[in-house]
Amino acid sequence: MIEFQKQDENLQKSATGNGNINWITLDCGKNFKAFSINGVKINKFKPHPIKKELYLAQTSTQCLNNISKQSKQPCFSYSQLYLSQNYGKTWELLTKYVSQFSWGYFEQYNNQIPIQRIYWIEETKNNKNQNRNPLIESRNFYLSDDFLITKQLLIQKGNAFYLHKNYLYVAQLQSKDTLAIQLLVSNPSLKDQKFRQIRLQEELLNHKFSILDAEEGQVFLNVSHLGLTSPLGKLYISDSSGINFSSSLNGQVRSDNGRVDFERLEGIYGIYISNIFTKEKTDHITKIYSREDTQDNHLEIDNSHSQILKDLQKIETMITFDKGAIWQRIPKPKNENTCKGLNCNLNIHSSSNTLYNSFYSSKNAIGLVFANGNVGPYLLHDKENVNTYISRDAGLTWYELKKGAYVFEIGDHGSIIVIGKDKDYSKTKEVEYSLDEGQTWTKIQVSEEEIQIENIITEPNNTSTTFIVIGRIDKLINNEIHEVGVVITIDFSNVFSEKCTNEDYEQWTPHGYQNKQCLMGKKVTYLRRKLDSLCLNGEQFQRIVNEQTCECTEEDWECDFGYERQGQGPCIAEKDYFFKPPKPEQCDKYYFEPTGYRKIAGNNCQRGVDRSPVQKKCPGKGILGVLMKVLFIVGSFGFVIYLRKSLVYLAILSFEQVKEIIWKKKDYIDFSGVKQEDDDKQNDEYANYLKKRQKKNYFDDNL
């Protein structure tokens, strides 16, 4: 199998073969050069984000039953991290027993941190076989800014990490007995890393969670609250800090390896799709996994899980146009006439299974989306019911593109689409292309022999007219049939007769189902090519025409920490969550009381609907606060305030009466601050709630 990984957005790619030889291309597939590290296969390969000559690579020692495959001497199995500074010509061993690694530099950092920065996780105090368990105490998270000449221990017992240009998450093991961990977050654009623990409403005990997306100034997090084998999870979304998470969607479909049916539409902020189990199915699964830990229940869980994975029934596709604030079903395609009634929705295949291609879009083909799926109440998996669909308005409306499942790719900003039959349907010698977004198709032969098409790709920006078909072909080798990989390059530049002019474009403004003008607080107008214009956009084509700020609507607000939306209704407080104003000594003039909502991170709306937290004066800051804190003695009289339940009583008493109250009463307010009779009970409840929120969870080691 050949695996392509992006390095430079225009030129450089790498490929890893099944053998011990690896390949690199500097000209987008025209020429490949072989390279190797001591004749050993590379398991993982990471080119530097901006320095094209720098590579990191991970290999494993070649041992079979603790005997070296090469020297036949005793050996142990462990991973090794290598560095090349000359396009893979020579390699330097950096360290051993590495389970995860990454360059720590992003182009937008502008040299705020060293370009040599590397993050990695290493098992320490081991000189035998590397421990492959997901969570162990001897793993640590490190940083180096000088190619590991020196190294800094960042998180002891750090077992896995997720790196994004704005967020760095690390899973730290808390207990080897319960496998409890906490999830820490930091800003990787800073030279010095400072980590904070995330906040979730629900308790996480030995559960898996997966970071799904962090591209739009917030983080989407899926948590499997029902245990390691549960096929469903709950979706949370953070604020801009990546620390405070609130509920977004329940019943998300997830696989054993942490893949979750969740996809972002590229190029337009705020649009995502996700697959969920129906409420009936979610409740059924929750009931099974929440029962007592008995042998019968283990058997029922195993049987139910197998049945769920086998049937994959009662799964629905949801879409959001406001970053998960509100989710809803996708209406059936415009050219679908066979399904009648209310339960005719489009359901789309995603990443939890590998049967069909996932939802696909490109930031340089704004609004153009492809998917494999079906129309009906639920998602179907048998190939007789799966078709290929297209949307040209960012998922708002859809059309059936082809009967059956196809793989697809976009070129020249969307002016050309290339598709091929999915490998599970049949072998083929052909692919098809369209210059009018699927209105008409032209077939071309790409192989003398029939191939199984695995994928069709182009350069990462989707601006070129050159495509690469990746597949498998049967070859007769030594009188035996072997399946081998094949790569075919196709140049479509000659199929266009002319380049587009101004008359070939129309204006288009994306929007959701409710607000017909705006998305994420903005009205953005784009240029898109007309359907009947069969011209070439060109690689430098620019799309945005105009941007305007919109008034805020309900779609611009999401649930705040501690609150959850009921369907498409309002945000209400989660059970066991309540807001308590700060104590006077912890408050400076004002505090903000939550309304249950917060503006979606990155939303630009102004005025209109306002769900912002309400500013209030701190307890003890008004006139009553003055009376609470200061005893004014006028002659032989003084003031004192009583609080019983929620009522306030002001009395003028003699100084002797005041002294007697101070000594004999338990429910008075002294001069240092306010205290209600039931404060201790409420404080205990809040402490218990905070205690419940301590993170005890299982972090997907594939993050």
Residue 399's pLDDT is 97
Residue 556's pLDDT is 93
- pLDDT of 120 > 80? The answer is yes
Strand 606-608 vs strand 551-552: parallel, antiparallel, or unpaired?
A: parallel
Local confidence band at 574 (pLDDT 50, 70, 90 cut-offs): confident
Residue 490's pLDDT is 95
- Give the pLDDT confidence of 502-526 residue by residue, as tens digits: 999 999 999 999 888 899 999 999 9
- Give the pLDDT confidence of 423-461 residue by residue, as tens digits: 877 889 999 999 999 999 999 999 999 999 999 999 888
- pLDDT of 43 > 60? The answer is yes
Contact residues for 593 (Cβ-Cβ < 8 A; gap 6+): 579, 581, 613, 614, 616
- pLDDT of 327 > 70? The answer is yes
**Structure-model confidence comparison of residues 589 and 92, the more confident one:** 92
CATH code 2.10.70.80 region(s) in the chain: 505-549
Cα–Cα distance, 669 to 660 (Å, whole number): 14
Residue 112's pLDDT is 86
Cα–Cα distance, 61 to 47 (Å, whole number): 22
Q: Are 246 and 290 in contact (CB under 8 A)?
A: no
**CA dist list (Å): 321 to 328, 520, 525, 553, 557:** 9, 8, 16, 13, 12
- Give the pLDDT confidence of 660-674 residue by residue, as tens digits: 333 333 333 222 233
Mean pLDDT, residues 548-565: 92
CA-based nearest residue to 543, from 530, 527, 558, 532: 527
CA-based nearest residue to 21, from 6, 8, 34: 34
CA-based nearest residue to 631, from 573, 574, 571, 671: 671
Residue 679's pLDDT is 39
Residue 290's pLDDT is 74
- Give the pLDDT confidence of 239-279 residue by residue, as tens digits: 999 999 999 999 999 987 889 999 999 999 999 999 999 99
- Provide the residue count of the chain: 703
Local confidence band at 542 (pLDDT 50, 70, 90 cut-offs): confident
* pLDDT averaged over every residue in the chain: 82
- 505-549 architecture in CATH? Ribbon (2.10)
Residue 18's pLDDT is 55
Q: At what angle do helices 295-311 and 279-289 cross, to 10 degrees?
A: 150
- pLDDT of 577 > 90? The answer is no
Contact residues for 202 (Cβ-Cβ < 8 A; gap 6+): 223, 225, 234, 574
Residue 684's pLDDT is 45
Biggest CA-to-CA distance, the chain: 115
Q: Are 430 and 444 in contact (CB under 8 A)?
A: yes
- Give the pLDDT confidence of 592-637 residue by residue, as tens digits: 889 999 999 999 999 999 999 998 888 765 544 444 444 333 433 4
- Give the pLDDT confidence of 207-248 residue by residue, as tens digits: 678 999 999 999 999 998 887 778 889 999 999 999 999 999
Contact residues for 58 (Cβ-Cβ < 8 A; gap 6+): 42, 43, 44, 45, 79, 80, 81, 82, 98, 101
pLDDT-above-90 percentage for the chain: 53
282 three-class SS: helix
- Alpha-helical (H) ranges within 152-278 are none
- pLDDT of 578 > 90? The answer is no
Tokens of 172: 């730290």
- Give the pLDDT confidence of 158-202 residue by residue, as tens digits: 999 999 999 999 999 988 887 888 899 999 999 999 999 999 877
- pLDDT of 29 > 80? The answer is no
Identify the bridge partners of residue 592 per DSSP, sorted by sequence position.
615
Local confidence band at 307 (pLDDT 50, 70, 90 cut-offs): low
Contact residues for 535 (Cβ-Cβ < 8 A; gap 6+): 415, 496, 497, 498, 499, 500, 501, 504, 529
Q: Are 82 and 90 in contact (CB under 8 A)?
A: no
Cα–Cα distance, 173 to 555 (Å, whole number): 38
Mean pLDDT, residues 136-159: 97
Mean pLDDT, residues 631-644: 38
- pLDDT of 653 > 90? The answer is no
Mean pLDDT, residues 669-686: 36
Cα–Cα distance, 265 to 503 (Å, whole number): 28
Local confidence band at 589 (pLDDT 50, 70, 90 cut-offs): confident
CA angle (429 as vertex; 427, 433 as ends), nearest 5: 110
Cα–Cα distance, 236 to 245 (Å, whole number): 6
Residue 678's pLDDT is 39
Residue 373's pLDDT is 96
Local confidence band at 24 (pLDDT 50, 70, 90 cut-offs): confident
CA angle (399 as vertex; 395, 400 as ends), nearest 5: 125
- pLDDT of 693 > 80? The answer is no
Contact residues for 449 (Cβ-Cβ < 8 A; gap 6+): 429, 473, 474
Q: Are 209 and 219 in contact (CB under 8 A)?
A: no
Residue 12's pLDDT is 54
- Give the pLDDT confidence of 48-79 residue by residue, as tens digits: 999 989 999 999 987 877 777 666 778 899 99
Mean pLDDT, residues 317-328: 95
Q: Helices (H) and strands (E) in the chain — how many of each?
A: 5, 52
- Give the pLDDT confidence of 344-372 residue by residue, as tens digits: 999 999 988 888 888 999 999 999 999 99
Identify the bridge partners of residue 311 per DSSP, sorted by sequence position.
none
Contact residues for 331 (Cβ-Cβ < 8 A; gap 6+): 344, 345, 346, 397, 398
Residue 671's pLDDT is 27
Contact residues for 446 (Cβ-Cβ < 8 A; gap 6+): 429, 430, 431, 469, 488, 490
